[in-house]
Amino acid sequence: MKKRRSFTAEQKAKIVLEMIRGERTVSQIASEYEVHPNQLHRWKAEAEENMAAVFRNDAKEVEKMRRAYETEKSELEMGKDLPL
């Protein structure tokens, strides 16, 4: 039995973009990457469903969370030197 292959998010995105371009059939793409066509259709549906997130301000939220984390980390590190 074959071991399951795993694809990174970047690899999946590249494959889905090839499907969207429509320069080759899904069967041709599936054959090249050795992925079942049904799996490719699921990846494409997931990409279409989440495409709006690219245009949201999620990056700003992530940056806020990162800054809060760094601040908290600094405060904890400073407090670590204090005796209890």
Over the stretch 21-46, which tens digit does the pLDDT of each residue have? 999 999 999 999 999 999 999 999 99
> Which amino acid is residue 42, in one-letter code?
R
Which tokens in the block code for residue 39?
């799996």
In a domain, 2, yes or no: no
Average pLDDT of the residues of the chain = 86
Q: Is the confidence at residue 57, as pLDDT, over 80?
A: no
Domain containing residue 48: 9-80
The backbone torsions φ and ψ at residue 32, rounded to the nearest 5 degrees and listed phi first, read -60, -45
Number of compact structural domains in the chain: 1
Q: Is the confidence at residue 66, as pLDDT, over 80?
A: yes
- pLDDT at site 80: 62
In a domain, 65, yes or no: yes
Confidence of residue 81 (pLDDT cuts 50, 70, 90): low
